[in-house]
Amino acid sequence: MTMSRTASRFAAAGLVTAAGLLYSAAPGLAEGTIKIGNIVAASGALKGPGEPSVVAVDIAVEEINAKGGIDGKPIELIRYDTGSDPKQASVAARKLIQDDGVLAIVGPFSSGEARIALNDAERLKTLMMPTSSSAPGLTEGKQYSYRLTEDEQKQFGRLLAAIKAKGMEAKTADIVYISDDVVSNVTGTKVYPALLEQAGIEVGDSIPVQLKSFDMSAQAAKILQDKPDLVAIAGLPDQASKVIKELRRQGFDGQFIGSQIFADPNVAELFGPEGDGTLLVASFWKGRTPQSQAFNEKFVTEAEKRGIHKLGAHHSDAQAYDTVYLVKQAIEKAGVTGDPDKLAEERQAVVDAMDGIRFSGIIGDDVCFAGHDAELPAYVIQIKDGEWTKFDEVAADPCD
């Protein structure tokens, strides 16, 4: 791991911790660069889904720099690992903006981190674009915060519509959610119940579990008593896997469904035979375009080089990759130079360039923003015979 000069200063002062290490993805760069911050969750509870997005960002930066950078200047990426701690996301935002002089920030990763760090971006007037946060309403009322993500509410609603359109048995549902994860909690207690009821599906129990829970037998037994047609899971892949395997062990033969939270191709392997038939929804499909397929293959190869086993890119990985290119587009549109003496002025120009911007990348073509959130397509995925397969597809909503 290579530190930037800034990180070295913090280390000398004894301020660098395992959850707060700044380092540059382009070591040796200093003058004549375009500085972009990157807040990641490469350790801690979110390491599993968070670390691969680091690979995606690095691929984008390497590609851009190999083609001449931004208006002839290479990107200098300055990265901060939050250790999955939302408070550290706030620290990262302040250090990147106040000490490192970045023009914009890619990240943080999760909704919990973004909920705090976006306030720093607003106060310090710097563009921030989280890479995976999908909790509804995070950018409402914000001027300097944008997301190239689609919220859980819309995507789960599309999944339920696909289930109904296919004529699947879906009269009753129970919900399992992770109580100590922000997006899982909101999704399981508010998003899922409301949308299931709107779809005419009777909601039974909403069962909380904790991130560190190992024994799911009691929760599974409760669901077995209800005998629902559907079990909607709001949790990360590991927690979803525990729920699914325990329910199958106890004899549940109903349908498992989920939104974007565990929409990782690795779950096809993680869930094993017990997860066959599971339906979920994602904002990225590897076969959408040749460019999407090329990224997916490159991502899997690069992740394996770093010791990260991936069967394919998660939509958060694709969004992180495209976010770097979107920031590049905004910087080029603004015509900024990266001159430290014009930093405040150029930061504002980059944010202004986001107004009305249209973007085409691996996740979608001519992507527009409703407010400060992107309108993205939905891909309903089914795990079928251990494979990640496309069950249905919904086009992105138009912007006003």
> Is 372 a member of any domain?
no
pLDDT at residue 239 in the model: 84
Report yes or no on 125 lying in a domain: yes
Between CA 354 and CA 227 the distance in angstroms is 49
Mean pLDDT for 263-270 is 94
Range from 132-136, 168-172, 187-191, 323-327 carrying the lowest mean pLDDT: 132-136
Average pLDDT, the chain: 90
With a pLDDT cut of 70, the percent of the chain lying above it is 92
Q: What is the pLDDT of residue 6?
A: 34
Q: How many structural domains comprise the chain?
A: 2
Per the CB < 8 A criterion, the answer to whether 158 and 195 are in contact is no
Task: Categorize the per-residue pLDDT at 261 as very low, low, confident or very high, splitting at 50, 70 and 90.
Answer: confident
pLDDT at 28: 44
Domain that holds residue 252: 152-282+379-394
**Quick one: 131 and 47 in the same domain?**
yes
Dihedral angle of Cα 353, 339, 20, 324, to the nearest 10 degrees: 40
301 and 181: one domain? Answer: no
Which residue in 128, 120, 102, 144 sits closest to 340, CA to CA? Answer: 102
Q: Which two tokens stand for residue 184?
A: 């899982």
Indicate the range of 68-77, 120-129, 203-212 predicted with least confidence: 203-212
> Considering the domain boundaries, does residue 246 fall inside one?
yes
pLDDT beyond 50 at 13: no
**Does some domain include residue 96?**
yes
Sign of CA dihedral 310, 311, 317, 318: positive
Mark whether 10 and 133 lie in a shared domain: yes
The H or E element containing residue 4 is none
Q: Which residues contact 328 (CB under 8 A, 6 or more apart)?
A: 64, 70, 75
Q: Is residue 400 part of a domain?
A: no
pLDDT at 268: 94
> What mean pLDDT is predicted for residues 293-315?
97
Together in a domain, 38 and 68: yes
Of the listed ranges 3-12, 14-23, 111-120, 185-194, the one predicted with least confidence? 3-12
19 with 146, same domain?
A: yes
Instruction: Please give the average per-residue pLDDT across 272-298, as a whole number.
Output: 96
Q: Are residues 278 and 168 part of one domain?
A: yes
Considering the domain architecture, whether residues 158 and 198 belong to the same structural domain is answered as: yes
- pLDDT at residue 21, as a whole number: 52
Statement: residue 11 has pLDDT above 70: no
Residue 36: which of 3, 91, 88, 75 has the closest Cα?
Answer: 75
231 plus 195 within the same structural domain: yes
Residues 36 and 137 in one domain: yes
Please give the pLDDT value at position 17. Answer: 38
* 158 is a domain residue: yes
Q: Are residues 90 and 217 in the same domain?
A: no
pTM: 0.88
pLDDT at 31: 60
Asked if residue 399 is part of any domain, the answer here is no
Q: Is 268 in the same domain as 387?
A: yes
CATH of the domain at 128: 3.40.50.2300
- Residue 213 banded pLDDT, cuts 50, 70, 90: low
Mean pLDDT calculated for residue range 158-180: 93
Select the highest-mean-pLDDT range: 31-40, 90-99, 150-159, 234-243.
Answer: 90-99
| 392: confidence class by pLDDT, cuts 50, 70, 90 | very high
Classify residue 328: in a domain, yes or no.
yes
Distances (CA, A) of 237 to 151, 278, 385: 18, 12, 18
Residues 272 and 329 in one domain: no
Task: State pLDDT tens for residues 67-88.
Answer: 999 999 999 999 999 999 999 9
